[in-house]
Amino acid sequence: MVKFSSFLSRVSTLREPSPIRYLLRSPGMFKFAGGLPNPEGFPFEKITFKLKDGTQFNIEEQDLNYAFQYSNTEGIQPLLEFIHSHQLLKHEPKYSDWDVTVTTGSQDALSKSFEMLLNSGQGDTIIVETPCYTGALAALTPLEPNIITTPIDANGIIPELLEDIIKGHYAKNPTKKIKFLYCVPTGQNPSGATLTIDRKKKIYELATRYDFLILEDDPYFYLNLEVRQQNVPLSSDVSFLSMDLDGRVLRFDSLSKVLSSGLRIGWVTGHKELVERIHLHMQTNSLHTSGLSQKTVSKLLGTVWGVKGLENHVDLIQSLYRKQRDLFVKIIDKHLSQYVTYSVPTAGMFLWMKFNNIEDSKKFIEEKTKLKRVLFVPGQAFDPLYKPGPYARASFSIETAENMEDACIALKECFEQEYRE
Ligand code: PMP
């Protein structure tokens, strides 16, 4: 197993379990120990959910009182059990000391993990892919790590380049340990890239050889849009977690893109020693993820739908996003083929466009496309050094065909104007 002490930040090692939360774990005791509000004072009696497919289910008073009460930091029992069996089914962790904790979306787990691993202001070394998810950069930047970037193509991180980068780092700084690699393996935000299984294996091998952790942030896991062929695994079928033998992978999952982002339900899976550190951090701020959200999800996934129901829902979501992607690609090709270059993403909700002959996409967006109400995120927002460049991120998740068409026509006019000037 990894020697975790060499990875933990000082702040994390100073965290101690809450003496009260620990006592509340003892079942069957008279309830004098905790500061639990009396549920008789809660005004809620019953919630009825009606699903779009007509299914109806209730959360009745007793369950509601439980949902609205303070609860375990790591998550309510039925949801934890569901997630545990789900992770076993999907990722089959290969060592026994793994654990999960429910978090308020993956963003919550990510920022807590960064704080767990990085000593603020000490310039701890990490590797991130470029372009990189802005939410990760926003959580990392205040900790002032030494960020090394590794480029990606349509198949994600390129292991050979990653190895050169690692070797280059250790040649210059032999004692400055690389603590982790942060990456988004499926439908990467912002590039839409999906790491192939072969590359994942090579990257995991590098992590073992050079002893760094892998932070596998996979909120687009359920949005793999590849069409399944018999006996051929999809890239997302083989996660870093599934190949981990020594607890060096911390995996972040989220229901945001598959059930609802407002529920704020995610979970982190990894070695107990790391997961426990995240609990301790939660004990000092959120205490736990919303009980109502947890109860709603555990009732829906655990009782009303079950595992098969989630699979069926994932199928629906995938066809929705596949349709949106195909529509967007068709409309871009119709109007913008001379003006933008891109690869068709096989997962997620983003299309990473290179604006041909434009050096600074931010300037172009601000000065031209915004005036026509067409907004993309300039690529530099995803660069730790905030360097200008020709790229922009477009999300195809939500717009109607009509708006896609109007926006692409407007964008074409912007290019024509820009090229004339
Ligand atoms: N990681 C990535 C790569 C994301 O794109 C997002 C959502 N934008 C998150 C994490 C945060 O997701 P959640 O809603 O689960 O906090």
Q: What is the ipTM of this complex?
A: 0.99
Four-residue CA torsion sign, 151, 154, 157, 159: negative
Question: Is residue 113 predicted with pLDDT exceeding 70?
Answer: yes
22 band by pLDDT with thresholds 50, 70 and 90 = low
Rounded to the nearest angstrom, the distance between the alpha carbon of 152 and the centre of ligand 1 is 19
Q: What is the reported pLDDT for 228?
A: 86
Q: What is the reported pLDDT for 206?
A: 98
Rounded to the nearest angstrom, the distance between the alpha carbon of 208 and the centre of ligand 1 is 27
Contact 242, 231 (CB under 8 A): no
- Mean pLDDT, the chain, whole residue set: 95
Rounded to the nearest angstrom, the distance between the alpha carbon of 216 and the centre of ligand 1 is 12
The closest-lying atom of ligand 1 relative to the alpha carbon of residue 107 is: 16
156 band by pLDDT with thresholds 50, 70 and 90 = very high
Contact 79, 297 (CB under 8 A): yes
Task: Please write the tens of the pLDDT for every residue from 135-145.
Answer: 999 999 999 99
Burial class of residue 286 in the structure, from the number of CB atoms within 10 Å of its CB (0-12 exposed, 13-18 middle, 19+ buried): middle
Question: Is residue 23 predicted with pLDDT exceeding 70?
Answer: no
What's the CA dihedral at 197, 140, 222, 307 to 10 degrees?
Answer: 110
Contact 335, 410 (CB under 8 A): no
Pocket test for ligand 1, best of 113, 130, 133, 255 (most atoms within 8 A of CB): 133
Average pLDDT for 379-408: 96
Pocket test for ligand 1, best of 128, 189, 252, 260 (most atoms within 8 A of CB): 189
126 is written with which tokens?
């990490």
Q: What is the reported pLDDT for 227?
A: 87
Residue nearest to atom 11 of ligand 1 (CA): 107
161 band by pLDDT with thresholds 50, 70 and 90 = very high
Contact 325, 314 (CB under 8 A): no
411 is written with which tokens?
């964008």
Q: Half-sphere exposure (CA, 13 Å, Cβ side) for 254? A: 24
Q: What is the reported pLDDT for 350?
A: 98
Rounded to the nearest angstrom, the distance between the alpha carbon of 148 and the centre of ligand 1 is 21
Q: For residues 19 and 57, give the distance between their C-alpha atoms in angstroms, rounded to a whole number.
A: 37
Question: Is residue 35 predicted with pLDDT exceeding 90?
Answer: no
Average pLDDT for 202-212: 98
Phi, psi for residue 154 in degrees, rounded to 5: -60, -20
Q: What is the reported pLDDT for 306?
A: 82
Phi, psi for residue 201 in degrees, rounded to 5: -60, -45
Task: Please write the tens of the pLDDT for every residue from 69-109.
Answer: 999 999 999 999 999 999 999 999 999 999 999 999 999 99
Pocket test for ligand 1, best of 104, 106, 128 (most atoms within 8 A of CB): 106
